[in-house]
Amino acid sequence: MVATKTDTVISLLTNLGLNTDVAYPALESLGDARYLRDLKINVGNVLNSNQNLTKKESLLLALSVAVNEKYQPLTDSFTNLAKQEGATDAEVAEVLACTSLLSTNNVFYRFRHFISKEYYQQTQPGIRMSIMMNPVLGKEFFELVSLAVSAVNGCELCVRSHEESVLKHGASEARVFEAIRVVSVIKGLITLL
């Protein structure tokens, strides 16, 4: 039996700027389940209804998850949507670079944390991070993206470090909470695409 796209699926895909003619078997298999309606509402809320994030910031955070999860259709869509909200090419490029750097750091520092041997703790990583010095998006938002990617990748040490840093750069806990809510919902969405 071939699943068909419900109005909810079509609406969700359209709102995300995704091609409605492409098959999304996992998403379509939900039919018109309550979860699908919840997902559509959750995605809409995290991208459009944050009190402590601008729409552009929400879309750039969503972009970081799409890049991290290597889901090109959403990477393209969130890039376009963020640019419609005023994101520059330099800001988009910085989110891509930040996501790549944090994916690297998350693996390295998660290993250090898991093993916790003196040699690994004392040896310099040798990973260049010059992008962190003068980010186009500003230190606070760069740290917020770093925190968000670290949360998606499950690096406890990185999450703690970036949460502390983003607060020191002026973010509120409410802003951090909303950022994590954005990336959580987008990560969940991607599992069905």
Compute the distance between CA of residue 99 and CA of residue 94 in angstroms, rounded to an integer. Answer: 8
Which entry of 47, 92, 102, 155 is annotated as an active-site residue? 155
Which entry of 158, 176, 179, 185 is annotated as an active-site residue? 158
Q: What is the pLDDT of residues 99-114, one digit of tens each?
A: 999 999 999 999 999 9
Answer yes or no: 155 catalytic: yes
pTM of the model: 0.94
Q: Which domains does the chain have, with CATH numbers?
A: 51-190 (1.20.1290.10)
Answer yes or no: 98 catalytic: no
pLDDT > 80? residue 1: no
* Cα separation values, 39 from 11, 77, 154, Å: 11, 18, 22
Query: Would you tell me the crossing angle of helices 89-115 and 55-68 to the nearest 10 degrees?
Result: 50
Alpha carbon 60 to its chain centroid, in Å, reads: 8
